[in-house]
Amino acid sequence: MTRKDRYQYILDYFEKAQPNVTTELQFGSAFQLLVATLLSAQCTDKRINAVTPPLFARYPDAHSMAQATEDDLYELIRSVSYPHAKAAHLAAMSRMLVSDYGGKVPTDPKELVKLPGVGRKTANVLQAVWLGRPAMAVDTHVYRVSHRMGLVPREANTPQKVEEYLEKHIPVEVIPKAHHWLLLHGRYICKSLHPRCAQCPFNDICPKLMEGSKLE
């Protein structure tokens, strides 16, 4: 099977099986999506969805969060990974949104990555989920699945290289959904240590390129 055929097979399956896929993070605005995505780094969406309701009840927007101290925020997010660093990022990010953008989340990805704690992946999530733009956010799941399933070559050895390769080979109108398809496949089926190959719809066509995946 050629790589082109592999893409077609996988995308056709997902389009039929999960036509209305979206993020599992819960949010009510662009600001809340930005906060939830920032918090989700190296943490499960389930944990983030447990933390954000009380956080957003107290600080629903940039203006209110900009008034919070790092300690205030830490107390509400202490159960996530790296809470001290993330509390500092949330405080600084909110203040910058207020001072530089009138409290609104910028839509330009070049402006988004200027915000404290916001990297390329988070900016792409905002582009794809909030704005519906063809941006491929590459997290650990997308990176792993793309390599294991032979969607990208070995030379695509950074998240940005994977992002660029996927965007070249996935139809532009499908890219926002393809991010979620690959992410959720990695989260629930193609897991890091113990992939559920027997439950995978691509088991028969997957090259299982698992070198360096720490499989037992």
d(CA 33, CA 63): 15
Are 183 and 139 spatial neighbours (Cβ–Cβ below 8 Å)? yes
How far apart, in whole angstroms, are the C-alpha atoms of residue 33 and residue 24? 11
Annotated active-site residue in 45, 61, 86, 121: 121
Residue 168, both tokens: 């070249």
**71 is annotated as an active-site residue:** no
Q: Is 12 a catalytic residue?
A: no
Backbone dihedral region of 202: left (phi > 0), alpha (psi from -120 to 50 degrees) or beta?
Answer: alpha
Enumerate residues 6+ apart whose C-beta is below 8 A from 47: 79, 80
Residue tagged active-site, from 45, 139, 208, 214: 139
Please report the DSSP string for 76-101 in residue order. HHTTSSSHHHHHHHHHHHHHHHHHHH
| Residue 145 identity (one-letter amino acid) | V
163: which 2 tokens?
């992002």
Give Dmax (Cα) for the chain: 56
The set of catalytic residues is: 121, 139
